[in-house]
Amino acid sequence: MKFTSLTEAHIKALRAMVDADRFSTGQSVLDLHARDQSSHPRSRPEAVIWPLSASEISNILKYANAHGIPITGWGSGSSLEGNPIPVKHGIVLDFSRMNRILKIREEDFQADVEPGVVYQDLNEKLKHKGLFFPPDPGARATIGGMIANNASGTRTVYYGSTKDYVLKLTAVMATGEIVEMGTRSSKTSSGYDLIHLMVGSEGTLGIVVKATVRLVGLPPEFSAAVVTFPSVEAAGKAVFEIKRSGLNPAALELLGPEAVALMNREENLDLNVAPTLFIEFHGITTGQLSEVLEMAEEICRAGGCLEFRPGLGRAERNRIFKARHGLGETITRSHPGCRILSTDVAVPNSQYPELIKTIHSQVDAHKIVGYTLSHAGDGNVHLVIAGKKGDKKEWDKIDRVVNTVVTRALELGGTATGEHGVGIGKRKYMASEHGSSLQWMQRLKSLFDPNGILNPGKIFPD
Ligand SMILES: Cc1cc2nc3c(=O)[nH]c(=O)nc-3n(C[C@H](O)[C@H](O)[C@H](O)COP(=O)(O)OP(=O)(O)OC[C@H]3O[C@@H](n4cnc5c(N)ncnc54)[C@H](O)[C@@H]3O)c2cc1C
């Protein structure tokens, strides 16, 4: 598809649509919107606009659609697959100034938010009301970006992902039409589910300008445990047994020994260097949670665990999970001069040990620096690789490893991305993952965005 580069006339027309301080073609601003947190190449937009309302966005989209100008949404730029990189240039809409929490309806367990609200800020406000919004990608992500990527995180095994928390959306379509979809009712069987079409569409079908999200009660008590196992198979079996037991962990994370060794070194911990589960439970009282921990320990010991370290109460849970939550940043910090690539795949639970085996054998065979961090309760694995910047030979090797891992995940009945989205990096797997249904996705894209102006160069292979 051929897109239009911005001319002086376009810039003049677009500039007139918003206040002067909310339109920029400044080089440093363009640079800041040229890359996300992935290792995909930079690509600069030609202009950045900070909209404040649906009607401003509608006017901008009408103009862009009429002139063939690409439009890419921007939340916090924390994506890991190049999702918000404006690969075809054009305009970036940065939602950081549309960050109002419009309404909290405690009795309905709902909040209306603008797309630029950062989920941690929403949770800070909600905690005084005993409520929270559970999806937790870790980085300071916006609700708009989380909706677009269908983000999830450590607590998804219990609470679900972003798609489970979106009730209603207002979106501006490519033509500029403002459309409301969904319902504030907590259940519905009414008509096609447009909400779940928009969630995970990475800003390629419409721009989210308002969302009604579902909230849940904040659990009064927390507990956690760190458990080491002699093998990934034994840890994988324990994951299955814990899930089957009805203990309902709120997080069930597995780290590879190399990740544990790094945490020991960088965070001054003394964990066994072995496959390690980080488990979290939410409950009503410490008494109840101490029984839950005892049961979890019984299961893990029966499964041959080497060590079970429990922690009761919020402070203990925070202490245990602190290093886990900071691991992404610890990896980056401890590899200066390296590019960090984080690939994300997911498989059915039964295939999880096989996937981990493939990952470890690939990392060893190719002698690359790789860490496995996984949301094991969901069969979701991240292989985080550090490779020297500019070393083409090494990066060719890394690309081959990633390709083998993703291909294996698909062979095992899984997906090329569990939570980071397709972005740029996973486009080449879409045909093999989706077969003929990819054509139906393409038809939907043409219906929603006939001129292809919304986040072009994403999701679909060229
Ligand atoms: C250290 C670290 C840890 C992470 N851990 C996780 C994790 O555990 N789980 C997980 O799921 N992700 C994780 N991520 C990835 C990232 O945080 C999520 O994908 C997040 O949802 C991106 O939100 P954002 O606001 O940064 O969006 P951006 O990266 O700015 O944009 C994401 C996508 O949304 C589109 N978009 C943004 N706003 C809108 C809008 N209003 N309307 C339509 N489209 C829009 C963009 O065009 C882009 O396609 C992690 C990232 C980092 C850096």
User: Which ligand 1 atom is the nearest neighbour of the CA of 154?
Assistant: 8
Please report the pLDDT score of residue 325 as a whole number: 84
Cα distances (Å, whole numbers) of residue 177 to 56, 57, 59, 61, 174? 12, 10, 9, 9, 7
Comparing CA positions, the residue from 341, 457, 461 lying closest to residue 87 is: 457
User: Which ligand 1 atom is the nearest neighbour of the CA of 203?
Assistant: 44
Ligand 1 pocket residue status of 45, Cβ below 6 Å: no
Task: Count CB atoms within 10 A of the CB of residue 329.
Answer: 13
Please report the pLDDT score of residue 316 as a whole number: 82
pTM: 0.96
Nearest CA to ligand 1 atom 27: 145
User: For the chain, which ranges sit under pLDDT 50?
Assistant: none
- Choice from 72, 76, 79, 165 to test ligand 1 binding pocket (greatest atom count within 8 A of CB): 79
* Separation of CA 455 and ligand 1 centre (Å): 14
- Direct distance between the N- and C-terminal alpha carbons of the chain, in angstroms, rounded to an integer: 10
Please report the pLDDT score of residue 322 as a whole number: 85
Ligand 1 pocket residue status of 148, Cβ below 6 Å: yes
Query: 27: which 2 tokens?
Result: 């080089």
Please report the pLDDT score of residue 444 as a whole number: 98
Please report the pLDDT score of residue 319 as a whole number: 80
Phi, psi of 200, deg, nearest 5: 90, 5
Cα distances (Å, whole numbers) of residue 154 to 111, 149, 364, 419? 22, 16, 27, 11
Ligand 1 pocket residue status of 351, Cβ below 6 Å: no
Please report the pLDDT score of residue 313 as a whole number: 82
* Separation of CA 172 and ligand 1 centre (Å): 19
Give the strand order in the sheet containing 251-255.
307-312, 221-228, 276-283, 251-255, 369-375, 380-388, 338-346
Please report the pLDDT score of residue 323 as a whole number: 83
Ligand 1 pocket residue status of 374, Cβ below 6 Å: no
* Separation of CA 76 and ligand 1 centre (Å): 7
Comparing CA positions, the residue from 166, 107, 111 lying closest to residue 135 is: 166
User: Which ligand 1 atom is the nearest neighbour of the CA of 78?
Assistant: 26
* Separation of CA 51 and ligand 1 centre (Å): 19
Cα distances (Å, whole numbers) of residue 366 to 38, 262, 361, 394? 22, 20, 8, 9
- Choice from 38, 80, 157, 384 to test ligand 1 binding pocket (greatest atom count within 8 A of CB): 80
Please report the pLDDT score of residue 321 as a whole number: 83
Please report the pLDDT score of residue 26 as a whole number: 98
Q: What SS3 state is found at 348?
A: coil
Please report the pLDDT score of residue 312 as a whole number: 84
Please report the pLDDT score of residue 261 as a whole number: 94
